[in-house]
Amino acid sequence: MWHASAMSLAALFALLPGAVLLFRRRLERPDRLYWLLLAVALAGSSAVAGVGLKSAWNAGFSAALWLSIATTLALLVLLSAALREAWRLAALVLPYLLLLGLLATIWAQAAPLTRPEVTFDAWLKIHIATALATYALATLAAVAATAVLIQERALKGKRETGLSRLLPALADAERLEISLLRWAVLVMAVGLMTGMAVQYLSSGLLLILDHKILLSFLAFAVLLLLLGFHHTTGLRGRLAVRLALLGYLLLTLAFLGVKFVADVLAA
């Protein structure tokens, strides 16, 4: 237990420099310090997440948080290298992940709920991978949506703020938000199907309507609705942001909220 807390605390300190400096430091493009800060944060969270992966399906609340943090950081690194202006999301992503890391550290000693062992390794690994990828994509999409709100407010006030200067421009933030949501919905569809496959192989039932399943399908429906409206009517701005954040909230409740209730509140 104390070993888990020590590792979690070390990973938290690995996140701290990036969260502070990238939130305050204005850059024109990613420099060496940017990549170094991301590398340190990713290395720390990945070390804890690697331990959590050993327990896979039975990972507790703290382990699930570190897995989501590491996956989100890995995705941010890829997007920063591949997409113009995506790197600017780090100014919000790192402080948010630091907050999640703090929660993971506080509850590092909470024992995970004992669950039946699942033996269908291939399906389970695909399901876990798609679930983590979905949540990472949705996290970055929610950050991009928050950037849209900040930039809209700055434009309406006709004055840039210290934070708005760090973030992608409004058009870039909207483009990132929609692109990330499209990928999140696509990967989530695969995750839902593989989840049903795991459920069927373990119980003979295709679907059991528990809180996690209901929240996941609600999140999927909200994000699909948002993308449908965007495609047909060009929906953007505050309504699109609210739907994106609602979908992310539902997904967070399904992915992390259920684990928190089971492993912390019900312990």
For 118-131, b/e burial (b = at least 16 CB within 10 A) is: beeeebbebbbebb
Entry pTM: 0.91
Closest listed residue to residue 151, CA positions, set 177, 171, 124, 176: 171
Q: What ranges in the chain are assigned the alpha helix state H?
A: 2-24, 32-53, 61-82, 90-106, 121-156, 170-203, 211-233, 237-252, 258-260
pLDDT tens digits for range 230-258: 999 988 888 999 999 999 999 999 988 87
Structural domain boundaries, residue 130: 2-265
Lowest average pLDDT, out of 139-153, 189-203, 218-232, goes to 189-203
- The number of domains in the chain is 1
Spatial distance between the Cα atoms of 47 and 58, rounded to a whole number of angstroms: 18
Q: Which of 110-124, 162-176, 198-212 has the highest mean pLDDT?
A: 162-176
- Which residues make Cβ contacts (< 8 Å) with residue 159, sequence separation at least 6? none
Q: Are 118 and 202 in contact (CB under 8 A)?
A: yes
Which pLDDT does position 56 carry in this prediction? 47
Q: How confident is the model at residue 57 (pLDDT cuts 50, 70, 90)?
A: very low
At 167, is the secondary structure helix, strand, or coil?
coil
